[in-house]
Chain A
Amino acid sequence: MVRFHRVSKSFGDLEVLRDINLEIAPSEIVAIIGSSGSGKTTLVRMLMTLEKPTSGTIEVDGELLWHKKENGRLVPADEKHLRKVRSKVGMVFQQFNLFPHMKILRNVTEAPIHVLGLSREEAEQEAISMLEKVGLGDKLDAYPSQLSGGQQQRVAIARALVMHPKVMLFDEVTSALDPELVGEVLQVLKEIAAEGKTTMLIVTHEMDFAREVADRIVFIDGGRILEEGPPEQLFGNPRNQRTREFLSRFRRTI
């Protein structure tokens, strides 16, 4: 479903990701862990077309994301191509990024109406059932500023889901939340995961959560994938010295 091939990314002289190769199968759930500044957020941001890779290719659902083929050669993608492939990807952000000038219902219907071309009735019907699913059916007429962080993040998840992306990216979606609100958001993620319809790429610091929902854990350190494997193996018996250090440091801070 997703394929990173020899992807590198530099910001000026700073190389944040180096020679990343990663394949994700349809409906697989992959958790990406690693310390701050390791490059894990940049990895998902490239998949959302928010950052452009310096080199390498990314494929989504069989199509190149940042490039297209012209006469057998790879050329940089134009906006039209980006929009086409981007429609297969959805993302939830650390800072929610809801539209503050729209009520909750409109936050969720805006893109289906103006991007997918749904009628207002269709869009509202689906938005309401999605908001009910994340437990916010009673907040349709509220503005984002009237909601708690956990509620805002659940709206953001609903807003991304109604676009029916094949791949959902979650970028540290609980990091900006008060501790007591983390659970409600993780619960929603678990429900989406349990449905098994969506491929999920989850950047997280919640190790217990990653262990519970992910099919595979990817550990990134210093811009490289150092280790990957099933949760039991990576958490239970990490092969790499750096993975062990990271995990033990994590247990200590918690």
Chain B
Amino acid sequence: MLWNWDYALSILPSLLEALQVTIYATIMGFAFALIFGLLLAFGRRSKIRVLSLISGAFVEFIRSTPLLAQLFFIFYALPQLPYVGISLSPLTAGILGLGIHYSTYLSEVYRAGIDAVPRGQWEAAIALNFSKGRTWLNIILPQAIPPIVPVLGNYLIGMFKDTPMLSAVTVVELLLTARIIGTHSFRFIEPFTMVGILFLVLSYISSLGVQWLEYRLNSRT
């Protein structure tokens, strides 16, 4: 029999447990990317030239090297660096790698959103004597972010689908779990098919969530 329901049901709990690791890594990694990406976008716009050059170079460097190489570096090479070297758990290293990698893409998305806010908004903020911080927080970002929510959502789903890469630094996430199960029982069809379905279902739910958020944000104005 090509598909064994009993077997499929018996491995489901293990897969769902591994799925939690995948979801956790995605949420933490994306939260990191959202914050760090915004800082990178600020850095690139900074009037302090050194800061904007460093931010720009960092974004270019990370974007033009593979995620997998970055994960290897963080997990295997970082502990061997003198002075700054720290050992991270596989999951922490994985979250950090995903977060840094995606933050560079998100910084470009933020930049597009910020650039799209008309100059007159900045001028009105100056004329009303808002501080720099208030201008960003109350005037610029609330206008810059709603239009880019769909793009951010696509990156969230992209990151979710990149989590199997964490298995390369020994994170036992969904795909690796499926492979381990398959190797033990010599049945690969059920575990890998179920992994596919789980990814599909969650990606679809996320995209519905993004659509809903987009609708909410746009109906405000």
A interface list, Cβ under 8 A from B: 48-50, 79, 83, 86-87, 89-91, 93, 95, 97-101, 110-111, 114-115, 143, 145, 159-160, 163
Partner of B129, one of A93, A97, A100, A163: A163
> For the side of the interface on B, what is the size category?
20 to 34
Interface set, chain B 90-145, CB cutoff 8 A to A: 118, 120-121, 123-124, 126-132, 134, 138-139, 142-143
Chain A residues lying within 8 Å of B142, measured Cβ to Cβ, are 101
User: What 1/0 flags go to B202-221 for Cβ under 8 Å of A?
Assistant: 00000000000000000011
Partner of A143, one of B129, B134, B138, B221: B221
Question: What residue of chain A has the Cβ atom nearest to residue B134's Cβ?
Answer: A114
Chain A residues lying within 8 Å of B123, measured Cβ to Cβ, are 48, 50, 93, 97
CA distance A101 to B219 in the complex (A): 11
Chain A residues lying within 8 Å of B130, measured Cβ to Cβ, are 111, 114-115
Chain B residues lying within 8 Å of A49, measured Cβ to Cβ, are 126
In the assembled complex, the CB of A110 is this many whole angstroms from the nearest CB of chain B, namely: 6
Interface set, chain B 120-177, CB cutoff 8 A to A: 120-121, 123-124, 126-132, 134, 138-139, 142-143, 146
* Chain A-chain B contacts (Cβ-Cβ < 8 Å), number: 60
Top 6 A-B residue pairs of the complex, sorted by shortest distance between their CB atoms: A97-B124, A97-B120, A111-B128, A91-B127, A101-B142, A115-B129
Chain A residues lying within 8 Å of B124, measured Cβ to Cβ, are 93, 97-99
Question: Can you offer 24 A-B residue contacts whose CB atoms are under 8 A?
Answer: A48-B123, A48-B126, A48-B127, A49-B126, A50-B123, A50-B127, A79-B132, A87-B129, A90-B127, A97-B121, A97-B124, A99-B124, A100-B143, A101-B142, A101-B146, A101-B220, A101-B221, A110-B138, A111-B128, A114-B130, A114-B131, A114-B138, A115-B130, A160-B128
CA distance A101 to B131 in the complex (A): 19
- Tell me if A145 and B221 are in contact (CB < 8 A): yes
In the assembled complex, the CB of B218 is this many whole angstroms from the nearest CB of chain A, namely: 11
In the assembled complex, the CB of B47 is this many whole angstroms from the nearest CB of chain A, namely: 11
